[in-house]
């Protein structure tokens, strides 16, 4: 099954992107989504090739944000599609049945559409306000997550749903109690000085349900 912890890359330059991804993989993260909005096509293609090679060394899942054609070209593990991006069915026709296609959702209606489209996973958010993403969709908060997941679980949905947006260590237990499968994190990992310990703590919470006392002060969130 998919990793319960996804890392969404950050960095204003290709160098920053690669450094952040490398250090996150070193810390034990097993899923990377390359998100590099301010890169031109040539730069994005180049860094995607490099990130793919690095992820292969770590046996980590490599997902490209938005760019279906690039994911096909370099044989990435899959693609993540926003609400305004290519429809899932069209992406599936391009990538085939063996690639991972994830989709963003902001409402229950979005989630139900993504389920109907047979997404492989859904990123539901944002959980709270975050500076990581521009044009942020309405913030959901814990109560909305509970309401959405209650409706989804009534239908015995099997598609993994990830919470995303401003998530910190302190949020994980309550978020998992809503029924989501995992979390997607960006700033909390990128900005932290001890990524290995942070990733280990995230994974401890996500996989065992044990809530350790973090031996560090948090330095950022997605």
Q: Would you identify the CATH topology of the domain 5-208?
A: TIM Barrel (3.20.20)
Distance CA 94, CA 130 (A): 32
Mean predicted lDDT score pLDDT of the chain: 91
Mean pLDDT of 37-49: 93
Which residues fall within 8 angstroms of residue 47, CB to CB, at 6 or more apart?
14, 17, 18, 34, 36, 39
Q: Which residue has the tokens 């969130």?
A: 221
Residue 167: closest CA among 197, 196, 193, 198:
198
For 159-215, how does the pLDDT look when each residue is reduced to its tens digit (9 = 90+)? 999 999 999 999 999 999 999 999 999 999 999 999 999 999 999 999 975 444 344
């Amino acid at each position: 099954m998919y990793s319960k912890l996804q890392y969404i890359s950050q960095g204003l330059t290709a160098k920053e992107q690669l450094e952040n991804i490398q250090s996150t993989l070193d810390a034990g993260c097993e899923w990377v989504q390359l998100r590099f909005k301010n890169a031109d096509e040539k730069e994005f293609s180049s860094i995607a090739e490099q990130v793919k090679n690095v992820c292969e060394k770590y046996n980590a899942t490599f997902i490209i944000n938005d760019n279906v054609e690039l994911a096909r070209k370099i044989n990435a593990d899959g693609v993540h599609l926003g609400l305004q991006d290519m429809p899932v069915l069209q992406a599936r026709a391009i990538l085939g049945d063996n690639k991972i296609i994830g989709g963003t959702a902001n409402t229950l209606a979005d989630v139900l559409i993504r389920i109907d489209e047979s997404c492989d996973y859904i990123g539901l958010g944002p959980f709270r306000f975050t500076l990581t993403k521009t044009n942020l969709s309405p913030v959901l908060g814990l109560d909305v997550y509970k309401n959405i997941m209650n409706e989804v679980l009534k239908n015995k949905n099997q598609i993994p749903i990830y919470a995303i947006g401003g998530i910190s260590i302190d949020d994980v237990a309550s978020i998992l109690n809503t029924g989501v499968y995992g979390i997607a994190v960006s700033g909390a990992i990128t900005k932290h000085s001890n990524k290995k310990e942070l990733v280990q703590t995230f994974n401890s919470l996500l996989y065992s349900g044990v809530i350790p006392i973090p031996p560090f002060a948090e330095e950022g969130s997605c």
